[in-house]
A = this chain, B = another copy of it.
């Protein structure tokens, strides 16, 4: 069903139908009414592809996220989608995974789809490969990265100060008498590298001279469980652990419980993200709120402004804050 079909049946030209569809003035009330009746009758729905073609604007944006199942990304994707749906935009979403080939590919796909803006969620998009793909295929449209940044004219970043945040976690643990700390990391994203940096800086500020204890773990409850046991076997002196994400803290906490440690007196620990995991675990986990939600909201707003022809700050940083619970 096209405007031509409607036009034919109404005995008018397609342009007149188009005017009615778009509520343009200058159509005789009677013909307008006649056309509207037909529009209803056939449930006419204008082809947005064709419309986008002449309008040179399709009101679509892209959302790139490594894996929407990660709690911290789910909220972000939700926020962005909602914010844009309100404005009549459609969101194309891709779970890119962590590989750079896929990221490059999806950037090209979004480019072919002629999206008008992109939100990338997660520091994992802050890579050379993404930068190159963007500069080649997406240099014309605004891009906002949640918790990441690229030095490109059309890229904007909203970041959490996780580095400073983690060093305040160190301070917190020290203030409670825990001075032999370890960091358990899940993967080496730019964000996590910052966390480790914050960990080291925190220790240094507290006057610790030795090399920081950092362990790697799989991003699973079991992974954290095992690594925590190993960590304390190899470093029995440890009395405080910072986990790079709440999920690990939850799994690790269970290991501590099973090993008979008393939390938080004997050993304290924290997560990062202030996610549902922190709230649901027993004991409830003290966590660094890195404001992912605010970040996504801000990213969405930035992109909205940019699309509206306005300006946005190239790079902003939001302060993270500790949410104390039962593990410190």
Which residues on A are within 8 Å of B, measured CB to CB? 43, 45-50, 52-53, 58, 60, 67-69, 74-75, 77-78, 81-82, 85, 90-95, 106, 108-109, 111-114, 136-137, 221, 250, 276-277, 279-282
Residue from the list B45, B68, B109 in contact with A77, Cβ < 8 A: B68
The contact of A85 among B50, B52, B94, B221, by CB within 8 Å, is: B94
Q: Is A78 in contact with B67, judged by CB distance below 8 angstroms?
A: yes
Per the bound structure, the CA–CA distance linking A277 and B187 in Å amounts to: 24
Of B43, B47, B111, B280, the contact of A45 (CB 8 Å cutoff)? B111
Q: Is the CB of A68 within 8 A of B58?
A: no
Query: Are A75 and B82 in touch, CB under 8 angstroms?
Result: no
A67 to B279, CA, bound (A): 20
User: When the two chains form their complex, are residues B137 and A45 in contact, meaning their CB atoms are under 8 A apart?
Assistant: yes
CB of A93 within 8 A of CB of B81, answer yes
A106 to chain B, nearest CB (A): 8
The list of the 6 closest CB pairs from A to B, nearest first, reads A282-B282, A280-B280, A49-B49, A48-B112, A43-B136, A45-B111
With A250-B280, A281-B282 as given contacts, are A45 and B81 in contact (CB-CB < 8 Å)? no
Q: Which residues of B contact A75 (CB under 8 A)?
A: 69
Option from B60, B74, B90 in Cβ contact (under 8 Å) with A74: B74
* Complex contact B53–A112 (CB within 8 A): no
Residue from B45, B82, B106, B114 in contact with A95 in the complex, judged by beta carbons closer than 8 Å: B82
Are A45 and B108 also in contact (CB < 8 A) when A78-B69, A93-B93, A95-B82 are?
yes
Q: Which residues of B contact A45 (CB under 8 A)?
A: 108, 111-112, 137
Known: A93-B91, A113-B90. A279 touches B221 (CB 8 A): yes
23 contacts between A and B (CB under 8 A): A43-B136, A43-B137, A45-B112, A45-B137, A46-B112, A47-B53, A47-B114, A48-B112, A48-B114, A49-B52, A49-B58, A49-B113, A69-B75, A81-B95, A90-B92, A90-B94, A91-B94, A92-B92, A221-B279, A250-B280, A277-B280, A280-B281, A282-B282
A281 to B250, CA, bound (A): 10
Q: What chain B residues lie within 8 Å of A67 (beta carbons)? A: 78
CA gap between A90 and B250 in the complex, in Å: 35
Contacts of A94 in B (CB 8 A): 81, 85, 90-91
